[in-house]
Every structure is written in C-alpha cells, then in structure tokens.
Amino acid sequence: MQCEEVKKMVETGLPGAQAEVHSNDDLHFNAIVICEDFVDKTTVKQHQMVYATLGNTIQSNEIHALSLKTYTPQEWETAREK
C-alpha cells in the first residue's frame, strides 16, 4: 500500500482531517492526523477513529504497522510552535 492511499483513506473517512503519511517500505507507516473531530476525545478514541478509516487493511497485512500521532487543530498549532 502506498502512502497516498493511506492518506486518502484517512482523509475520506474523517472529513476535514489533514493527514501526513510516510513509509520506508509501504508496510510500516508513520502518520500525523489533525482533525477537529478529535476535540474532547481521548487519544485512544482518536486512534480508534483513524483505524476505523483503514478498514481491514491492517488485518489483511496491507499495513503491517502504523505509528500514529493525532492532534486537534489547536494542539497541532501548539505543537508546531514548540
């Protein structure tokens, strides 16, 4: 699976989200996802929301591993300032 495919799945599944996805081997991915819908959600819930957008790609091993960082737009602005 290509990074652009993962990005599109996340952004389609979470309208208004912005995703940045990187991989060295198209099996192990690093993603940053910024979404207004993450406001007032725990980190676990935010990650569950992202995983839900990926359907069965993890179970089918199209994505072997996903390192995920999620932010609300405000959290992202604060993180970028640091």
CATH number of this structure's domain 3-81, picked from the four choices 3.30.300.90, 3.20.20.150, 3.40.47.10, 3.30.70.3270: 3.30.300.90
The overall pTM is greater than 0.75? yes
CA distances from 30 to 8, 20, 25, 40 (A): 14, 8, 11, 24
* Alpha carbons 36 and 25: distance in angstroms, whole number: 30
Phi–psi pair at 17, nearest 5 degrees: -75, 155
**Tens digits of residue pLDDT in 3-46:** 999 999 999 999 999 999 999 998 999 999 999 999 999 999 99
- List the domain boundaries for the chain: 3-81
